[in-house]
Structure 1
Amino acid sequence: MTTVALDLLGGDGAPGVVADAAATLLSNTANTGLRLVLVGPVDVARDQLVARGVDLSRVTLLPATSGVSMDASPLEVVRQDAQREVAETTVVVAARAVRDGIADAWVSVGHTGASVASAVLTLGRITGMQRPALAVVVPALASPVVLLDVGATTTGSVGALEQFAIAGHAFAVAVGVSSPRIGLLTIGSESGKGDELRVETDAHLATSLPARGLNYVGPVEGFDVTRGNRAQVIVTDGFTGNIVLKSIEGAAAWAAHQIGVAYGDSGPARGVIRHAAAGDFAGGLLLGVEGVTVVGHGAGTAAQVIGCVELARRAVEQNLIGNISTAMAELS
């Protein structure tokens, strides 16, 4: 049995989109081993679920009075709430559910900064991990590609990028990529290309990763993220990774529009958007904290929320946090 806590107030379509996702998940006979914890105003949660015919025996309702607005200072809001004995925000209550053993994982499609801050402050970093990284699974052509960091932090260092590579490898294995190849995102496939950080990191990874039995293929370029044939784990800093991810989303929207115009049929176009947004998994998994945390897109659909839950469940079932902890202990 896997229990996942869901932030009821996260995202542009909350609470309805989250409730739709919960209802769909619990009505699926393949999900008999799944329990949900809905975090938010209890009356609202109950009304939303009852209206959708959800069996409340498979749902725990945890009270929280508010989400974190997109114009708020996430670190300040979360830090203040984390100091309260009884937290008020959904992201802190959901993270505490994992910390306290009520849930195995938590998911929010709300404020990314608030979710990251809550996970770090509430769950703590894995011992030896310099900083967390948000990792996403890009549905590339040849093979899924794990891209990290896509925005947990905006700066990078050689040591942090090495840790991202190791954690990303464990993540790729957990989502079914066997013997993943690791690449460093830069502006050319030849060694020596890029800024000082990229050049130094490439030289370091070229010796450190093979010494750990990992397959490092060297520098890769932006188009490798969606091709998937050169590397299945692509490492970068969060500033660059976020720009790449948003560029992929924009390119998919452009392609979908062109398909709709060319064929006069929006159905295939919607399929392009859905696949680009989620593939088999949606959301970003926060690697480097002591608990499974998945952060989804604020404008996500119920299908994308479901994809986030599936990603969280896979991480729990594959003991991803334990595997990363072991790898970090060996690194130190």
Structure 2
Amino acid sequence: MGKPLKFEGVSEELHKIVDADMDQVWPRRRAREAFKDIQLSIDHILFKMPCDGLTMTEICSQSYEVNSRGLEIFSKSWLPDGSSPKAVICFCHGYGDTCTFFFEGMWLTMRIARKLASCGYGVFAMDYPGFGLSEGLHGYIPKFDRIVDDVIEHYSKVKENPNLRTLPSFLFGESMGGAVALKVHLKQPDAWNGAVLVAPMCKIADDMVPPWLVTQILIGVSNWLPKRKLVPQKDLAELAFRDLNKRKQASYNVVAYKHKPRLRTAVELLRTTQEIEQQLDKVSLPLLILHGKDDKVTDPSVSKALYEKASSTDKTLNLYDDAYHALLQGETDDTILRVFGDIISWLDKHC
């Protein structure tokens, strides 16, 4: 189990809710509902930026939809009010994460998704099975391609909407979501008008991978105990968030997966990055790649390799001095605003 979370000014009852076993989806949904008012107090630049002309809508009844595998998927959308969107942006979140914290944020203030919508874009997001508020064993990826297929299924339905069908569509992937976005593109090479990849997981940083012998043992054991939380892991918040105050705020993402990786999950992530690294030359869509030069979670050198090897004729690589992994959540306010501005500028040029 992870360490119990402690928040100042929070009742013992709320602490029990957020410290509960969240392997299954109902405790996660309960924790998110119970804790959202506390999250309103977070002092983060993403929650301060003003927005106008925005209608937030839920995808499908009560924000949930049962997919073809029988799993209830949580999803949300944000649309500019009173006008047709410039384009459709489909978000792929990172490992352990959810679309209900920094991406969605809280109800009354500004977030990544709502900022994109206020700039004229239709934004769509979902929690993968086993993550956030979607059904499935928390943090468990039995097969990475299943996530990719779930994402394709969900966003294909989004793009079939008569009001959106003729619009340009872009993938937006953060960290592991970058790997998801690239694999979606490789399965649908002509379906997307571009991709924004923020610190994409094309390769896990060498310091994050256990020694070779330990890795081989874990791979073998994963065949027998795939769901066990046994993979050694460093403090991801410390590695990903450069700003100390924002690092503390990451704990407020109470439905994030914070335990040691499950054996099969870790094996699938490693296998997927090795597979992607061998297929960089097959990437052909317009690309905006953004990576911190001091990222210790995903390897920025492979983002450089993606930029160099991709067959795309339209590609941009932005590397940020001194920046860590969480470019849009864990950096100084100036860096976050700069990265966000680079994303909006690129999208505007491609619409």
Q: TM-score, normalised by structure 2?
A: 0.31
Q: TM-score, normalised by structure 1?
A: 0.33
The structure whose residues are more often helix, as a share, is 1
